Structure 1
Amino acid sequence: MVATLVQNHISIEATPLLDVRALSLGFGASKTNLLEGVRYSVEAGETLCIVGESGCGKSVSSLAIMGLLRHDVAHIREADIRFRGEPYDLHDTAALRRHRGADIAMIFQEPMTSLNPAFRVGDQIAEAVRAHRNVTEAEANDRAVNMLRRVGIPAPEARVNEYPHQMSGGMRQRVMIAMALANDPALLIADEPTTALDVTIQSQILDLIRTLQAETGMGTIMITHDLGVVAEIADKVAVMYAGTIVEAGPAEAIFNDPQHPYTIGLMSSMPKLTGPRERLTTVPGTVPTIETMPDGCRFSTRCPFAQHVCKETPPERSFGAGHTALCHFAPLNERLERA
């Protein structure tokens, strides 16, 4: 009896909050997938950072999870996803609408284009509450005031009646966070929420998200290209290139022992605060488009190690503790030693 309870407890704890086992997606009439076999998972209370250059598919993958892509343009060609252990169907519009804003919420990069300029911020938060909770208008308005207070906006009783243009960029982003968390979601997706903010406000927003995460135990997916942000908040990292997760694992492993040439290129492009001045390393070339996507390894056209075998799809190699990379030549340290 006790053993059974322990086993059940372990299985519940081991179930990821969101488990994306395979996600492939194309656009228009193109037969090439923009997203190809994307895989990652996030646990309750955990922060997963998805990193990569602009155009790598980071935002598209999250918009697909949220069901915010137009079905007449974006075509889901493979989707094996679990949310809290249950199937999560990207073709079930009604189910996605129930999840969106209640179980899974999203903060967008630019709040000025995400907030409706014609409505007071309090009304927009209250609308999100009433969409998923059976509450009165007064109760929804009280919830809006409480959420503004919770995210650190001063005088929330007055600010609740302001329009987005009356607020600063940092305040608008706090309103977006308040709206996203108004229904206590289990998972928060933050799509570069600090890109348009100055460094001081950026730090405040990251601290706020961490504090709210600690209070509620929600899982967080942070989409960013800022490796400084990743080093500060990530538990796990998924490196995306050209619509594919090329390397994933614990943050410490990714930073201390990167095994994919693209990850190494990203790490090498970070300026160092100590030591002699050196010219920053760059990754030559650009991210391929759907029309120019190479066969096999999608990074092969920019990779310094590329050989003929790279025209074939690389295997996923494991380095323990959940650290994996898609590369024919991994582990790279052994290759460099042989060279």
Structure 2
Amino acid sequence: MTTPLLAVEDLSFRFRGHDQDVVQNLSFALGRNETLCIVGESGCGKSVTALALMGLLPSDAVRFGGGRVTFDGDSYGIEDAGRIASMRGDRMAMIFQEPMTSLNPAFRIGDQIAEAVERHRRCGTEAARARALEMLRRVGIPAPEQRLDEYPHQLSGGMRQRVMIAMALANDPEVLIADEPTTALDVTVQAQILDLIAELQTETGMGTIMITHDLGVVAEIATNVAVMYAGQVVEYGSVQAIFDDPQHPYTIGLMSSVPSLTGPHRRLSTVPGTVPSIGQMPPGCRFSSRCPFAAPICAERPPLAPIGGADHQVACHFAPLETMQERRA
């Protein structure tokens, strides 16, 4: 097995004033030229995990209970703000969910891209501006010389998202975190952006963490998938293993709620209830309050354990679900 580019081990943290973790015992690995998709409903901890990895959670609002990160063989604690800041925007970059609120409305597009280049490449303003223009061309912005001196409000949603990609990739990062980069974009622009990320990934060997709720996107681009629920990874494995043989009731519920373009028309399935708030997490398995198979044993937290091979893990007392009746008996 090759050494992963990025490995996160046992990441846990909570917001101050709460006695339960918002993210609990999160572990995953990412290889070069691989895409890890993190999926789950809103409120499951996907975006806050990304912010923690980028060192963007305010230190006075978060208490870390553990977690180590190994980046290209270099290990450090998740609390090491100085180490993370030195890599942020350089070796590790992030595309945020909503570019209109992530881009500064008071600065020109070119200046915002050039800022990261000047900081990490220690170059002059002219060289940084030239790099910004190069990146705008690379991400397919029309008339890049003109757009360089425009403000975010002058661009369409698709172009603003491309600007965010240009900014994230300006220093050729080894790891890219993309937080729902195609949300609110039409399907044509969505396909263009996903193709662009895949193309750049192939060119540079970059590893990508894609946060999304779109299982169609996951099936198309993922190497591995982590299914998150209420701050915990409940299923983890290769995209083939997850889609061919989902084993956690939550994963099955997510997949059953996706409409099909073929076959007879039928009412979509739903997962009853909502993700519990931080202060109302049930003990043990956090999905037990919504699970159709819940039993007294679910008051104990199930470990994330291998099932059917090394490339598939699930946190459920009844997995494999095919033998659930036997296990209950």
Choose the corresponding residue for 1:328, options 302, 317, 320: 317
Number of matched residues? 327
Give 3-state SS (helix, strand or coil) of 2:280's partner: coil
Corresponding residue for residue 184 of structure 2: 196
TM-superposed CA distance for 1:168, in Å, is 0.3
Corresponding residue for residue 3 of structure 1: none
The letter of the residue matching 1:26 is: R
Corresponding residue for residue 4 of structure 1: none
Report whether the alignment pairs 1:271 with 2:259. Answer: yes
Mapped contact 2:139–2:166 kept (Cα < 8 A)? yes
CA distance in 2, matches of 1:233, 1:58: 18
Report whether the alignment pairs 1:240 with 2:228. Answer: yes
Choose the corresponding residue for 2:36, options 48, 54, 66: 48
Ranges of 4+ aligned residues in structure 1 off by more than 4 Å? 336-339
Mapped contact 2:230–2:276 kept (Cα < 8 A)? yes
Mapped contact 1:191–1:223 kept (Cα < 8 A)? yes
Mapped contact 2:109–2:148 kept (Cα < 8 A)? yes
Corresponding residue for residue 74 of structure 2: 86
Corresponding residue for residue 63 of structure 1: 51
CA distance in 2, matches of 1:316, 1:92: 27
Report whether the alignment pairs 1:289 with 2:277. Answer: yes
CA distance in 1, matches of 2:326, 2:300: 24
CA distance in 2, matches of 1:144, 1:44: 25
CA distance in 2, matches of 1:124, 1:43: 30
Corresponding residue for residue 187 of structure 1: 175
Corresponding residue for residue 178 of structure 1: 166
Mapped contact 2:68–2:78 kept (Cα < 8 A)? no
Give 3-state SS (helix, strand or coil) of 2:77's partner: coil
Deviation per CA, 1:267-322: give whole Å up to 9, x if none: 11111111111111111011011111010001000011110000001122212132
Give 3-state SS (helix, strand or coil) of 1:146's partner: helix
The letter of the residue matching 1:335 is: M
TM-score between both structures, scaled by the size of structure 1: 0.94
Deviation per CA, 1:99-144: give whole Å up to 9, x if none: 1001100000110101111111001100010110121111101000
Corresponding residue for residue 122 of structure 2: 134
Per the alignment, do residues 337 and 210 of structure 1 end up closer, same or farther by CA in structure 2, a change over 3 Å counting? farther
TM-superposed CA distance for 1:206, in Å, is 0.6
Mapped contact 2:66–2:78 kept (Cα < 8 A)? no
Report whether the alignment pairs 1:168 with 2:168. Answer: no
The letter of the residue matching 1:50 is: I
The letter of the residue matching 2:227 is: V
Task: Report sequence identity in percent.
Answer: 64
Unaligned runs of 5+ in 1: 1-9
Corresponding residue for residue 248 of structure 2: 260
TM-score between both structures, scaled by the size of structure 2: 0.97
TM-superposed CA distance for 1:82, in Å, is 1.0
TM-superposed CA distance for 1:337, in Å, is 7.4
TM-superposed CA distance for 1:89, in Å, is 2.5
Choose the corresponding residue for 1:208, options 196, 199, 214: 196
TM-superposed CA distance for 1:80, in Å, is 2.0
TM-superposed CA distance for 1:336, in Å, is 5.4
Q: Which moved more, 1:54-63 or 1:319-328?
A: 319-328
Corresponding residue for residue 296 of structure 2: 308
Report whether the alignment pairs 1:317 with 2:298. Answer: no
CA distance in 1, matches of 2:41, 2:184: 16
Choose the corresponding residue for 1:230, options 210, 213, 218: 218
CA distance in 2, matches of 1:267, 1:337: 25
CA distance in 1, matches of 2:239, 2:325: 23
Report whether the alignment pairs 1:150 with 2:131. Answer: no
The letter of the residue matching 2:187 is: V
Mapped contact 1:27–1:75 kept (Cα < 8 A)? yes
CA distance in 1, matches of 2:70, 2:19: 26
Corresponding residue for residue 84 of structure 2: 96
TM-superposed CA distance for 1:338, in Å, is 7.5
The letter of the residue matching 1:322 is: D
TM-superposed CA distance for 1:90, in Å, is 2.2
The letter of the residue matching 2:274 is: T
Instruction: For 1:1-16, list aligned pairs within 5 A.
Output: 14-16=2-4
Mapped contact 1:22–1:81 kept (Cα < 8 A)? no
TM-superposed CA distance for 1:214, in Å, is 0.8
Mapped contact 1:250–1:321 kept (Cα < 8 A)? no
Give 3-state SS (helix, strand or coil) of 1:36's partner: strand
TM-superposed CA distance for 1:21, in Å, is 1.3
